Amino acid sequence: MPKLTFIELCFWLYVAQNVVSGDLYHKVGGDLVLKPEKSTVPDPITSILWKHGKYKVAEWDKDFGGLDIYGTFRERTTLYQTTGELRISGLMKTDSGVYSVEFNSKLLDKTYTLSVIKAVPKPTITSSCNPEKTSCTLTCEGDTTDAEPVTYSWKVGERAWQVVGKQLIISKSNTGKSTNSYKYICKLNNAVSGEEEVSEPVGEVFGSEGNHEEELGVGKGEADEAAEKT
């Protein structure tokens, strides 16, 4: 038997992981469609059972001739007996979790991990400076409860958007370059937001006096979080 190289092994592990499970993000109040791959569906289908974790969602058995929808999924769930496709409308936060399906009493390998989250709100920018007005922290504020994971991006003047974090640190330097016309904008985005939500621009963070150059940095909390992820 030929030996796999390390790169080949990593590739096949990645493929296997993505075949066995699928991560899905859907919006609160939205619709979900779970459609098993045709190659995994037996022919003929005599029974179907969908579960959310250990709890039943929908069950159909040809011999017993009935379709049962369980719990909070009643009135908003459809099961198609010919394909095994499951449709759930009016998604709620509590619908988050792992979904699995059995055909003819045999559990399929692939599962579906669902996260039901809210869309991001329009953010606002708040500013906090040290007493000497030599350093300011801009914060992109918005209620992201039940909307995580969220990305924060910043635009400074005419520069390109940068994914920085929730906070942006701006420091003065004595370069003599005037940047009083700089405008700062932040935006939020997540997997279910159709469009990114953008704040109103703010300017003259240090006031209208003097010439300075803004040196941009990540807030301490964001830097610590980034360090933990590496």
Report whether 155 contacts 140 (CB < 8 A). no
Over the stretch 100-126, which tens digit does the pLDDT of each residue have? 999 999 999 999 999 999 999 999 999
CATH for 124-229, options being 3.10.150, 2.60.40, 3.40.50, 2.40.128: 2.60.40
Q: Which residues pair with 183 in a beta bridge?
A: 203
Q: What mean pLDDT value characterizes the chain?
A: 82
Over the stretch 158-183, which tens digit does the pLDDT of each residue have? 889 999 899 998 887 643 444 445 78
Q: Which CATH superfamily is domain 21-117 in?
A: Immunoglobulins (2.60.40.10)
Range 58-73 average pLDDT: 93
Q: Do 124-229 and 21-117 have the same topology in CATH?
A: yes
For the chain, what are the domain ranges?
21-117, 124-229
Q: Note if the pTM is more than 0.75.
A: no
Does residue 218 register a pLDDT over 70?
A: no
Instruction: State the CB neighbour count (10 A cutoff) for residue 101.
Output: 24
